Structure 1
Amino acid sequence: MEEADLQERILRFRKECGLSQHDLASFLGVGQRTVSRWERGVDQPSITIMARLRALLDSQDVSPLSLAYDVVRRALVPLAIIDGGGEVLAASASFDRTALGWQDASRSTLPTVLVIEDDESILRATRAVLKRWNFLSVEAVRGEAAVAMVAKREVSPDIAIIDFLLPGGMDGVDTASYLRQIIPGLPVLLITGEATPERMRKISASGLPLITKPVDVGALRVALETFVPRTA
């Protein structure tokens, strides 16, 4: 990847995804000034960071279908996408699925990822990356909120990505346990930025797969594709 091309592609990626330099920097585990230097051509990423960037920049563009589902799910008014057989493919939180005879929570043809993360920059970057990979994302900042959403059938995720350290009384392992009581066998991927001995003991005892921050983008995609195989 040529230097000039790299500058342009990083900037284009950020703009297309609606990310600030700080958002991208947080996701990659570097400083905002570092991203600024890359975009100005003053500096080049290290070999490790370049591998993460390639995994991001070489991703396919966001599909129109993914964007449509995302817009509908985030709508403040009752809104839904319904297929020819009457199945609700995606719906806003205020859409009444039972009023016209629809029985279940919406199920999208795109896999749904429940992301539980309290760092807003990392959350925005994760959302952008998932869109480029054609996954729908639903987010929560606290474990309690995520469990409530699933319990109320507001969302039925295919996989959950959970930061270990969360605000409130539940950490990532606790949250995963409660989610699996509602959806047995739900695939869960834990994320942690501080691998302290105490934390690692609890994660190890849970048997849940773990990716450390800054996230290895390639490893994240492999994990998602492994846990949620594509049918098409």
Structure 2
Amino acid sequence: MLPGAYLSDPGVVVRHAAPVGADALSQLRGAYVLLLEDDREARRAIEDLLDDWGVIHAGGATLEELAPEVEAAGRIPDALITDFRLPGQLSGAACVQELRRLIGATVPAIIVTGESDLASVRAVMPPDTALLQKPFDEAAFVLPLLEAVVRARRAESLHIDL
């Protein structure tokens, strides 16, 4: 949470944040994330961060490539991460909605974008989705991910649907 705003509010754009401590980062260990990013280098950079934090992840360049991971994982992901601009007709926002439909739960999502006009991105953002504008720093990326993982674990401990 940032002062005055919840990261899950689709209107919030985060680019920089204070560093997150090791205790907070340890909460990410064992979390499961689906990553949809068509740029191989960008996907690899995010995967490297997730690896550093002990996050289990499945990634793909397209929804078609990532969708089989939903069934194969045998568990509900703690978060979805997607680029906004993807090849084909579906935006990252539409892919979040489709992944949630396939999963059967409203999994918190993070959409990253290089768009300069954020109003058009905000207009189509699904609920429970954080927005990160490229370039962003590591701490800005970890904040909404931590929020998602903490929410998912709380829901799991209470045995409720996200």
Moved over 3 A (4+): none
Q: Considering only CA atoms, is the larger Rg found in Structure 1 or Structure 2?
A: 1
Structure ranking higher on relative contact order (CA contacts 8 Å, 6+ apart) = 2
- Deviation (angstroms), 1:118: 1.0
Contact 1:116-1:141 within 8 A present in 2 as well: yes
Structure-2-length-normalised TM-score:
0.67
Q: 1: distance between equivalents of 2:137 and 2:39?
A: 17
1:140 pairs with one of 36, 48, 60 = 60
The code of the aligned residue for 2:122 comes to: M
Between Structure 1 and Structure 2, the one with more helix by share is 1
Out of 132, 139, 142, the residue aligned to residue 221 of structure 1 is 142
Residue 72 of structure 2 aligns with which residue? 154
How much identity, in percent, do the aligned residues show? 28
Residues 146-225 of structure 1 aligned to structure 2 (within 5 Å): 146-150=66-70, 153-155=71-73, 156=75, 157-183=77-103, 184-196=105-117, 197-203=119-125, 206-207=126-127, 208-225=129-146
- Unaligned runs of 5+ residues in structure 2 are 1-15, 24-28, 155-162
**Hey, what's the Cα distance between the residues in 2 that align with 1:170 and 1:128?**
26
Matched letter for residue 199 of structure 1 = V
In the alignment, what sits opposite 2:46?
A: 126
Q: Partners in 2 of 1:149 and 1:195 — Cα distance?
A: 32
What secondary structure sits across from 2:86 in the alignment? coil
Q: What CA deviation, in whole Å up to 9, does each residue of 1:22-51 have, x standing for no partner? A: xxxxxxxxxxxxxxxxxxxxxxxxxxxxx8
Gaps of 5+ in 1: 1-50, 61-108
SS at match of 2:72: coil
Count of equivalent residues: 129
When the two chains are superposed, the root-mean-square deviation of aligned CA atoms in Å is 2.9
